Amino acid sequence: MSNSTGNTLLAILTGVAIGAGIGILYAPDKGSKTRGKIKDGFDDAKHDLQNKFDTVSSQLNDKLTTAKFDLEESYEDLISNMSHKTEEVISFLEDKLAELKRQNAKFQK
Protein backbone atom coordinates (compact mmCIF):
# COMPACT_ATOMS: atom_id res chain seq x y z
CA MET A 1 0.00 0.00 0.00
CA SER A 2 1.44 3.41 -0.90
CA ASN A 3 2.11 6.06 1.70
CA SER A 4 -0.67 8.37 0.44
CA THR A 5 -3.19 5.52 0.57
CA GLY A 6 -2.11 4.75 4.13
CA ASN A 7 -2.46 8.42 5.06
CA THR A 8 -5.92 8.55 3.50
CA LEU A 9 -6.97 5.44 5.39
CA LEU A 10 -5.69 6.90 8.66
CA ALA A 11 -7.50 10.19 8.02
CA ILE A 12 -10.78 8.39 7.30
CA LEU A 13 -10.52 6.27 10.44
CA THR A 14 -9.65 9.32 12.53
CA GLY A 15 -12.60 11.22 11.08
CA VAL A 16 -14.96 8.35 11.83
CA ALA A 17 -13.73 8.10 15.42
CA ILE A 18 -14.03 11.85 16.04
CA GLY A 19 -17.47 11.95 14.43
CA ALA A 20 -18.65 9.05 16.55
CA GLY A 21 -17.36 10.73 19.72
CA ILE A 22 -19.06 14.01 18.94
CA GLY A 23 -22.23 12.18 17.99
CA ILE A 24 -22.32 10.45 21.36
CA LEU A 25 -21.76 13.68 23.27
CA TYR A 26 -24.48 15.65 21.48
CA ALA A 27 -26.92 12.83 20.76
CA PRO A 28 -30.54 13.96 21.19
CA ASP A 29 -31.78 10.39 20.74
CA LYS A 30 -31.99 7.49 23.12
CA GLY A 31 -28.85 5.38 23.63
CA SER A 32 -30.12 2.50 21.53
CA LYS A 33 -30.80 4.80 18.58
CA THR A 34 -27.42 6.49 18.99
CA ARG A 35 -25.66 3.12 19.07
CA GLY A 36 -27.54 2.13 15.92
CA LYS A 37 -26.43 5.30 14.16
CA ILE A 38 -22.83 4.73 15.25
CA LYS A 39 -22.98 1.15 14.02
CA ASP A 40 -24.41 2.32 10.70
CA GLY A 41 -21.63 4.92 10.43
CA PHE A 42 -18.97 2.30 11.09
CA ASP A 43 -20.60 -0.07 8.61
CA ASP A 44 -20.63 2.66 5.95
CA ALA A 45 -16.99 3.48 6.64
CA LYS A 46 -16.12 -0.22 6.51
CA HIS A 47 -17.85 -0.63 3.15
CA ASP A 48 -16.13 2.49 1.79
CA LEU A 49 -12.75 1.22 2.91
CA GLN A 50 -13.45 -2.22 1.45
CA ASN A 51 -14.42 -0.65 -1.89
CA LYS A 52 -11.27 1.48 -1.92
CA PHE A 53 -9.15 -1.54 -1.01
CA ASP A 54 -10.75 -3.60 -3.77
CA THR A 55 -10.16 -0.80 -6.28
CA VAL A 56 -6.52 -0.35 -5.29
CA SER A 57 -5.98 -4.11 -5.26
CA SER A 58 -7.48 -4.44 -8.74
CA GLN A 59 -5.37 -1.57 -10.08
CA LEU A 60 -2.22 -3.05 -8.56
CA ASN A 61 -3.03 -6.45 -10.02
CA ASP A 62 -3.56 -4.88 -13.46
CA LYS A 63 -0.24 -3.02 -13.24
CA LEU A 64 1.61 -6.16 -12.15
CA THR A 65 0.07 -8.15 -14.99
CA THR A 66 1.08 -5.46 -17.48
CA ALA A 67 4.58 -5.24 -16.02
CA LYS A 68 4.95 -9.03 -16.23
CA PHE A 69 3.83 -9.04 -19.86
CA ASP A 70 6.22 -6.18 -20.68
CA LEU A 71 9.08 -7.98 -18.95
CA GLU A 72 8.39 -11.21 -20.82
CA GLU A 73 8.21 -9.33 -24.11
CA SER A 74 11.47 -7.51 -23.38
CA TYR A 75 13.14 -10.80 -22.47
CA GLU A 76 11.99 -12.41 -25.72
CA ASP A 77 13.24 -9.39 -27.70
CA LEU A 78 16.59 -9.59 -25.93
CA ILE A 79 16.94 -13.30 -26.66
CA SER A 80 16.00 -12.75 -30.30
CA ASN A 81 18.47 -9.89 -30.63
CA MET A 82 21.22 -11.94 -29.00
CA SER A 83 20.48 -14.80 -31.38
CA HIS A 84 20.89 -12.52 -34.38
CA LYS A 85 24.12 -11.10 -32.97
CA THR A 86 25.41 -14.61 -32.31
CA GLU A 87 24.73 -15.54 -35.93
CA GLU A 88 26.63 -12.43 -37.06
CA VAL A 89 29.60 -13.33 -34.85
CA ILE A 90 29.60 -16.94 -36.11
CA SER A 91 29.50 -15.75 -39.73
CA PHE A 92 32.34 -13.32 -39.07
CA LEU A 93 34.43 -16.04 -37.42
CA GLU A 94 33.72 -18.49 -40.24
CA ASP A 95 34.87 -15.88 -42.79
CA LYS A 96 38.05 -15.24 -40.80
CA LEU A 97 38.69 -18.98 -40.48
CA ALA A 98 38.25 -19.45 -44.24
CA GLU A 99 40.66 -16.56 -44.87
CA LEU A 100 43.23 -18.04 -42.48
CA LYS A 101 42.89 -21.45 -44.20
CA ARG A 102 43.56 -19.79 -47.59
CA GLN A 103 46.63 -18.02 -46.20
CA ASN A 104 47.88 -21.22 -44.57
CA ALA A 105 47.38 -23.10 -47.85
CA LYS A 106 49.68 -20.58 -49.61
CA PHE A 107 52.44 -21.26 -47.07
CA GLN A 108 52.17 -25.02 -47.41
CA LYS A 109 52.80 -25.10 -51.19
Tell me what pLDDT residue 2 has. 61
Q: For the chain, which residues score pLDDT lower than 50? A: none
- Please report, for the chain, the start and end positions of each structural domain, with discontinuous segments joined by +: 3-108
Residue count of the chain, please give it: 109
Query: CB–CB of 20/34 below 8 Å?
Result: no
Tell me what pLDDT residue 29 has. 67
49 contacts: CB under 8 Å, gap ≥ 6: 9, 12
Tell me what pLDDT residue 20 has. 76
Q: What spatial distance separates the first Cα and last Cα of the chain, rounded to whole Å?
A: 78
pTM: 0.44
Query: CB–CB of 44/22 below 8 Å?
Result: no
Tell me what pLDDT residue 109 has. 65
Q: Which amino acid is at 100?
A: L
56 contacts: CB under 8 Å, gap ≥ 6: 1, 5
